[in-house]
Amino acid sequence: METILEMREVKKSFGGNHVLKGVNFSVHPGEIIGYIGPNGAGKSTTVKIILGMLQQDAGEIMLFGRSLAENGDEYKARIGYVPENAELYETLSAEEYLLFVGRLYGMDEQIVRQKSFSMMKILGIESAFKNRLSSFSKGMRQKVLIISSLLHNPDILFWDEPLNGLDANSVQIVKEILSELKKDGKTIFYSSHIMDTVEKLSDRIIILNNGTVVADGPFAELQKDADGTLEQLFNQLTGFNEYAELAADFVTAMKGESQYDA
């Protein structure tokens, strides 16, 4: 099968800090990829490079069958992006923000307004359509960002922790939306820390640790190497197995009886 995205030995460092040390993986059209890893593993950096916000130091990235280096900026019209930390222009209203994004995609205003209002209605936040984003809760902002990434009907989605701040019901809807989008032939590349969701939702799971891919495959396949849940596999692959001791130490430290010196 042809690939829609391929990373070949992608490296990136900031100063002396090597964030990506040769990342390799490929994504096929219609796949849902769960991109997971501990904090600081380089997940967001990977996505930022693919979206052209950062340039890689070495390696090649193929997207839609062409090298990123040769692509202009037009390829971004086929991408839907949800940034980490729910960044958006807070002084605009939800309507204005979505219209703004829609116009950056060169879309007709009437269509954007209609699409975004219906999507907000389905997610239950249509009453805030004309309110400033600064008054939105984290979950509401996340919904606006998800909508803004879908306005232009993209082929591939890069969602950086899309479930952040959403309540359980909304998580349920978003999961279903992802399955629907997959049926529609969309490719979805998302990162998350909720192992349970990643385990059930992803066709394939890529685990990044310390700047390299340490596991890549469907959950069932990964399970053969390690019995149990994805969480356990994750702990094992990222070399983390002393959580019980650490928790006890943490509470000791809180009481001021720490064995470590500052």
Partner 1 sequence: MMRNIFGKESKSDTPFFIKILNFLAPMYRAFGVDYPTLRVIVEAKMVMDGRQESVIQKSGWGNKKKNDEDKNTFFQSLWMYAIFSLILLFLFAIDNIVFQYTIFFSYIFVMLISTLIANFSTILLNTKDQVLIGTKPVSSRTLSAAKATHVFIYLISFAAAIAGPIVIATFFFHGILAGVLALLLVILASLWCLLLTIIIYATVLKRFNGEKLKNIIAYSQIGLSVFTIIGYQIMNQVIQIVDPEVLAIELNLQWWHVIVFPLWFVAPFGMLQDGWSMTYGIYIAFLLLGTLGIVLLYRVNNDKLEKNLQKLDSGEAEEDKRSLYETITGKWLSWDKRELGYYHFVWQLTKHEREFKTRLYPSLASILVFPAVLLFSSFRFSEGAIEESVTFIYMPYFTMLMLPMLAVSLQYSKNYKGRWIFDTSSENHAGVFLRGMIKAMTMKLIFPIYVLLSAVVIVMTGFELLPVIINGFLLIIALFFMEVKRTITDYPFSRQYNASEANQGCLATVIFFGIVIVTTLFMFLIQEFIPFGAYIVLVLLLAVDGWLLTKGFDNTKLYQL
Position among 32, 41, 123, 128 found at the interface with partner 1 (CB under 8 A): 128
Position among 9, 109, 167, 225 found at the interface with partner 1 (CB under 8 A): 109
Residue 74 is a binding residue for partner 1 (CB under 8 A): yes
The upper half-sphere exposure of residue 228, i.e. CA atoms within 13 Å in the direction of its Cβ, equals 10
The DSSP call for residue 225 is H
Residue 100 is a binding residue for partner 1 (CB under 8 A): yes
- For 155, counting Cβ atoms within 10 Å of its Cβ (0-12 exposed, 13-18 middle, 19+ buried), the class is middle
Position among 32, 34, 61, 81 found at the interface with partner 1 (CB under 8 A): 81
Residue 120 is a binding residue for partner 1 (CB under 8 A): no
Residue 16 is a binding residue for partner 1 (CB under 8 A): yes
Q: Among all chains, which residue has been given the structure tokens 């249509």?
A: 126
Region for 256 from its dihedrals, namely left if φ exceeds 0, alpha if ψ lies in -120 to 50, beta otherwise:
left
Nearer CB in complex with partner 1: 85/252: 85
- With CB under 8 A as the rule, give the number of residues binding partner 1: 44
Q: Comparing C-alpha atoms, which of 167, 236, 231, 228 is closest to residue 34?
A: 231
Residue 39 is a binding residue for partner 1 (CB under 8 A): no
Position among 29, 52, 165, 217 found at the interface with partner 1 (CB under 8 A): 52
Nearest distance, CB of residue 198 and partner 1, angstroms? 23
Residue 67 is a binding residue for partner 1 (CB under 8 A): no
Residue 134 is a binding residue for partner 1 (CB under 8 A): yes
Nearest distance, CB of residue 86 and partner 1, angstroms? 11
Rounded Cα distance between 242 and 227, Å, is: 18
Position among 5, 20, 63, 99 found at the interface with partner 1 (CB under 8 A): 99
State how far Cα 122 lies from the chain centre. Answer: 22
Helix (H) or strand (E) holding 113: helix 109-122
Rounded Cα distance between 31 and 188, Å, is: 6
5-14 β-sheet, strand order: 17-27, 5-14, 58-63, 66-67
Nearer CB in complex with partner 1: 25/136: 136
C-alpha distances in angstroms, 63 versus 10, 55, 122, 178, 212? 13, 15, 32, 21, 20
Residue 185 is a binding residue for partner 1 (CB under 8 A): no
Nearer CB in complex with partner 1: 47/181: 47
Position among 8, 21, 28, 76 found at the interface with partner 1 (CB under 8 A): 76
Nearest distance, CB of residue 41 and partner 1, angstroms? 15
Q: Which residues bind partner 1 (CB under 8 A)?
A: 14-17, 45, 48, 51-55, 72-77, 79, 81, 83, 87-93, 96, 99-101, 103-106, 109, 127-128, 130-132, 134-136
